[in-house]
């Protein structure tokens, strides 16, 4: 019976990983019947505008221009080439936009209108409205082209990018200070571990339920995740928020089976109080060098393979409300993912493997299920490793939830600041 659940875990994990990676890498159609710009292209363009504002603030040049060229890799059809011409006009000049337009079929909707706009000819309000219908955010960007720098419409459209550029001038300095503090904390932690002075508080806290209920939590969670990935919840009309919280139900499975509340809390690490919140913050700081190493490895893989590792939150910007994104990243993910991966799964692995083995296995599954591709695994896995070490150190998932919430909160806040407008 136990082997059946292990097999189910492996199969469901492989199915979910394959589905997530495939769904995030489905090529778009090259036909004329295409939708508006992809969120990936919109976010790349927003990033480019932010870099342009950063260049203005820091008196540099060249970075934003290179970013415009990088959008070529996101082009799927002539409509996307027109969108790149709009960005080229804003970041470079009208000639750069016309150079792109000249490479596009003459019958592409909006081509002639944009050609006249960047040739300094007037276009009508109806033509501008058509551009916005055809090209969405890019059409809106074309509407503020050529306006005076103090024009209210232009100021309002570019305000998020100016704000994000100012943030990028300040945040790295603060992060650098926190990073060096983390290096010191990591050194002290490693030194105490080597000397055997560090007390590790993880305990099995087994009162007779055995190991199977904790494995079942993971299997049931993955099963529901697979059903969500194939769109079953949407087909049944389940609201997005409700579907999200349905994934949390497997966490209660041991209680349904008759496991005592005390053993359930102990196994999942729901122990400790305010002190664990402080431990989570300190653990996060100490883990920053490890996380930085993981992100550096991912960046090397991206440059080497050419395969990007986009965070799924980028695709949600513009589709979901900021509050939905924040709730998912700062409440749902820290609570549910920690209880499943650092709670149930780590509890199941720990009696069977060393600390290193349980840490690597739980972190690998945690990272593989995030739909960011092979190149994104080192970055996410480094976060999982730090979380697993905190779980071993404190024995509490309250500490890991704290770290997870803070990490996601900082990341999402920065991304919303940069990419929301």
The pLDDT, as a whole number, for residue 32 is 46
211 and 133 in one domain?
no
140 and 68 in one domain?
yes
Residues contacting 296, CB < 8 A, separation 6+: none
Looking at the domain assignment, is residue 14 inside a domain? no
Looking at the domain assignment, is residue 279 inside a domain? yes
Looking at the domain assignment, is residue 13 inside a domain? no
Looking at the domain assignment, is residue 62 inside a domain? yes
Rounded distance between C-alpha atoms, residue 178 and residue 176, angstroms: 5
Last residue of a domain, one of 128, 157, 186: 157
385 and 275 in one domain?
yes
209 and 313 in one domain?
yes
352 and 266 in one domain?
yes
339 and 206 in one domain?
yes
Looking at the domain assignment, is residue 171 inside a domain? no
Looking at the domain assignment, is residue 77 inside a domain? yes
Contact 87, 135 (CB under 8 A): no
126 and 266 in one domain?
no
Q: What is the pLDDT of residues 185-219, one digit of tens each?
A: 999 999 999 999 999 999 998 888 889 999 999 99
The pLDDT, as a whole number, for residue 325 is 83
Instruction: Label each residue of the chain as H, E or C.
Output: CHHHHHHHHHHHHHHHHHHHHHHCCCCCCCCCCCCCCCHHHHHHHHHHHHHHHHHHHHCCCCHHHHHHHHHHHHCCCHHHHHHHHHHHHHHCCHHHHHHHHCCCCCCCCCHHHHHHHHCCCCCCHHHHHHHHHHHCHHHHHHHCCCCCCCCHHHHHHHHHHHHHHHHHHHHHHHHHHHHHHHHHHHHHHHHHHHHCCCCCCCCCCCCCCCCHHHHHHHHHHHHHHHHHHCCHHHHCCCCHHHHHHHCCHHHHHHHHHCCCHHHHHHHHCCCCCHHHHHHHHHHHHHHHHHHHHHHHHHHHHHHHHCCCCCCHHHHHECCECHHHHHHHHHHHHHHHHHHHHHHHHHHHHCCCCCHHHHHHHHHHHHHHCCCCCHHHHHHHHHHHHHHHHHHHHHCCHHHHHHHHHHHHHHHHHHHHHHHCC
Give me the number of domains the chain comprises. 2
402 and 265 in one domain?
yes
Looking at the domain assignment, is residue 175 inside a domain? no
The pLDDT, as a whole number, for residue 308 is 66
237 and 153 in one domain?
no
Contact 226, 15 (CB under 8 A): yes
The pLDDT, as a whole number, for residue 269 is 96
Rounded distance between C-alpha atoms, residue 62 and residue 233, angstroms: 47
Q: What is the pLDDT along the chain (421 residues), one digit of tens a residue?
A: 578 888 888 878 877 777 666 655 444 444 444 567 777 788 788 888 888 888 777 666 666 676 677 777 777 788 888 998 998 888 888 898 898 898 887 778 888 999 999 998 888 999 999 999 889 889 999 999 988 988 999 998 988 888 888 877 777 778 888 899 999 999 999 999 999 999 999 999 888 888 999 999 999 999 999 888 888 888 889 988 899 999 999 999 999 999 999 999 999 999 988 999 999 999 999 999 999 999 999 888 877 876 666 666 666 665 667 788 888 889 999 999 999 999 999 999 999 999 999 999 999 999 988 877 778 889 999 999 999 999 999 999 999 999 999 999 988 887 777 666 5
The pLDDT, as a whole number, for residue 64 is 67
Domain residue limits at 299: 199-419
150 and 214 in one domain?
no
Last residue of a domain, one of 99, 127, 157: 157
The pLDDT, as a whole number, for residue 320 is 67
Rounded distance between C-alpha atoms, residue 181 and residue 411, angstroms: 19
Looking at the domain assignment, is residue 216 inside a domain? yes
The pLDDT, as a whole number, for residue 231 is 84
Find residue 320's DSSP bridge partners.
317
139 and 213 in one domain?
no
Last residue of a domain, one of 139, 157, 175: 157
283 and 150 in one domain?
no
């Amino acid at each position: 019976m136990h082997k059946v659940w292990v097999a189910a875990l492996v199969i469901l994990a492989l199915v979910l990983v394959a589905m997530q990676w495939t769904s995030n890498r489905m090529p778009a159609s090259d036909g004329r019947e295409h939708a508006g710009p992809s969120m990936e292209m919109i976010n790349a363009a927003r990033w480019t505008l932010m870099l342009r504002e950063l260049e203005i603030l820091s008196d540099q040049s060249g970075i934003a221009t290179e970013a415009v060229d990088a959008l070529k890799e996101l082009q799927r059809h002539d409509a996307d080439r027109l969108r790149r011409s709009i960005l080229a006009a804003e970041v470079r000049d009208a000639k750069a936009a016309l150079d792109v337009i000249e490479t596009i079929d003459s019958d592409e909707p909006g081509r002639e209108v944009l050609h006249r706009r960047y040739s300094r000819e007037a276009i009508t309000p109806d033509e501008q409205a058509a551009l916005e219908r055809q090209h969405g955010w890019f059409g809106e960007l074309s509407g503020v082209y050529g306006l005076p720098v103090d024009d209210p419409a232009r100021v309002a459209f570019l305000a998020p990018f100016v704000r994000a550029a100012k943030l990028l001038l300040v945040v790295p300095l603060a992060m650098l200070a926190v990073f060096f503090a983390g290096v010191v904390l990591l050194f002290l932690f490693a030194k105490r571990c080597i000397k055997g002075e560090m007390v590790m508080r993880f305990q099995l806290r087994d009162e007779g339920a055995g190991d199977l209920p904790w494995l079942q939590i993971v299997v049931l969670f993955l099963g529901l995740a697979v059903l969500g990935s194939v769109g079953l919840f949407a087909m049944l009309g389940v609201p997005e928020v409700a579907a999200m919280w349905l994934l949390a139900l497997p966490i209660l499975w041991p209680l349904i089976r008759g496991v005592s509340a005390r053993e359930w809390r102990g196994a999942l690490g729901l122990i400790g109080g305010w002190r664990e919140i402080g431990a989570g913050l300190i653990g996060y700081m100490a883990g920053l060098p490890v996380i930085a190493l993981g992100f550096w490895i991912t960046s090397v893989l991206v440059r080497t393979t050419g395969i990007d590792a986009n965070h799924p939150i980028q695709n949600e910007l513009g589709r979901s409300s900021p509050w939905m994104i924040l709730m998912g990243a700062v409440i749902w993910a820290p609570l549910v993912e920690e209880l499943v991966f650092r709670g149930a799964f780590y509890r199941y692995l720990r009696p069977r493997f060393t600390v290193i083995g349980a840490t690597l296995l739980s972190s690998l599954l945690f990272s593989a299920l995030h739909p960011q591709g092979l190149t994104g695994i080192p970055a996410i896995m480094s976060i999982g490793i730090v979380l697993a070490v905190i779980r071993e150190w404190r024995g509490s998932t309250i500490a890991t939830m704290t770290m997870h919430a803070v990490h996601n909160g900082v990341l999402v806040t920065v991304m919303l600041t940069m990419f929301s407008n």
